[in-house]
Amino acid sequence: MGFKRVWSTTGVVALTGALLLTSAQTASADYVRDKQWVLDVFAMKDTWSETQGQGVIVAVVDSGVDGSHPDLTGQVLGGKDFTGGGNAQEDKIGHGTKMASIIAGHGHGAGNSSGVIGLAPKAKILPLRTLQTRDDNNSDETWGAAVRYAVDHGAKVINLSIANDGGKTLSAGREAIAYAEDHDVVVVAGSGNDGSSRVSEPAALPGVLSVGAVDKHANVWEDSNSGKGLALTAPGVDIVGANPTMSNGYGVGSGTSDATAFVSAAAALVRAKYPDLTAGQIINRLIKSASFLGHKGLKAPDEEYGYGIIRPRQAVTMDIPAGPKENPLGQLKSSNSTSGKESEETGTSVQAEKKKSSSSDILVIAGGIAAAVVVVGVLFAVIRSRRNGGNGGRGFGGGVSPQGAGYPPQHPTYPPAQQPYPNSVPNQGYPTPPQHSNPYTQQPPNQGQ
């Protein structure tokens, strides 16, 4: 069946951080809200006056989502379990619940002022459980089936806070992502937590919005995978979220999982604000509104920052032309496509994979045919030569040069969107690096094209 381990992109760091928060003597719901530094640096109160993600379903393909958590009540749909355990709202790890809270948590208590509030608090979560424990094989067949289910049940954004162990996504996973892209769904995935210079799959696949992690100073997290094909970066360090496995219901951790959830939430905000835009145009807005936030001399796409760090408020308020309907990051093609140019256009379709895997067989067969033709030709020439008294006759030449499936870059070049940015905006009370004040408040030039 080709099973392959696919890990969540939060990792052990999340567990360590969760234990630290749980052991704090002053830990409380209000303390949890105070830990959400992202809300301030993204000026979310201003953003929510524009949109809160209402009407958008975000699928969380993960360890399940605990819909009974006080910060998620009423936000979580029925979903489906793909592990055989039967309940998509059972989360034994806490990972999926944390992602859901980052996306659509609404807090609790008076005025919902306590607990975790997500960037898109009125979006709905579709929980799709594909693993029960951290030791489970989250195979391509399993999460691929969940992606298809999400598409068929109205999800407009799919959060994949997962990354494989360095291998390639199998056909079941690629087909599922191609299906999602073909049905106007934004697919978001984490780049991985290995500190590698290579973006992990499925994030690295064409059309997928791949996400790396940065800290509150807008610096890349040391364990965030980077490299060609990275699309965006988002907060992923010291992130608090709901976690039903902790005694107080919350945990703190770092990882590209968290960054992925923030981008999924931002996508939900934009989809709610601009319901007529295609998935590709939503991605375009997220890219065009991103910023390098004071990191000078970078050119988009940068291998560590992609097209920049997301800015949800600018993504919903900037004057950005809709642009082409197509996904600026490319698109996977399904093997069911009738296009004869799949392998040349995408380089990642199943049909192209089959051509590649069978190319050696084609060469062997072609070589055999060529050899047979040569032998027949030689015999014919010898016979004719003898008949003509040894005079040279007209001979044969033969050979087959089949062309293998070409694989272009997975993420087509996109027009650069960033320039060096000013650093003269005062901070908002968060620690800042020596070279500039709070980077998240800086305003780059209008990037609408």
Contact 160, 189 (CB under 8 A): yes
What is d(CA 392, CA 386) in angstroms, rounded to the nearest whole number?
9
207 — alpha (psi -120 to 50), left (phi > 0) or beta?
A: left
- Tell me how far CA of residue 440 lies from CA of 42, 295, 311, 383, in angstroms: 7, 11, 8, 84
Q: What is the pLDDT of residue 92?
A: 96
What tens digit of pLDDT does each residue of 182-228 get? 999 999 999 999 999 999 999 999 999 999 999 999 999 999 999 99
Q: What is the pLDDT of residue 322?
A: 96
Hey, is 266 helix, strand or coil? helix
Residue with tokens 């030449």: 397
What is d(CA 437, CA 254) in angstroms, rounded to the nearest whole number?
23
Which of 8, 101, 226, 257 is an active site residue? 257
Q: What is the pLDDT of residue 334?
A: 80
Which of 62, 66, 91, 302 is an active site residue? 62
Contact 116, 101 (CB under 8 A): yes
The reply to whether 40 belongs to the active site is no
Q: What is the pLDDT of residue 402?
A: 26
The reply to whether 436 belongs to the active site is no
Cα radius of gyration rounded to whole Å, the chain = 26
User: Model's pTM, two decimal places?
Assistant: 0.74
The reply to whether 257 belongs to the active site is yes
The angle formed by the CA atoms of residues 126, 32 and 425, to the nearest 5 degrees, is 95
Q: What is the pLDDT of residue 104?
A: 98
Identity (one letter) of the amino acid at 341? K
Which residue, 449, 51, 48, 119, is CA-closest to 288? 449
Contact 102, 262 (CB under 8 A): yes
Q: What is the pLDDT of residue 366?
A: 36
- Hey, which CATH number is domain 6-339+410-441, 2.40.160.10, 3.10.640.10, 3.40.50.200, 3.40.1390.10? 3.40.50.200
Instruction: Chunk the chain into consecutive blocks of 10 residues (it has 449) and report each block's average pLDDT, rounded to whole numbers.
Output: 45 34 44 95 96 98 98 98 94 97 97 96 98 91 98 98 86 97 98 95 97 97 97 98 96 97 98 98 98 93 97 98 96 66 36 38 36 39 39 30 26 32 30 46 41
Q: What is the pLDDT of residue 8?
A: 54
Contact 329, 306 (CB under 8 A): no
Which of 8, 63, 66, 95 is an active site residue? 95
Q: Which helix (H) or strand (E) covers residue 372, if one does?
A: helix 359-387
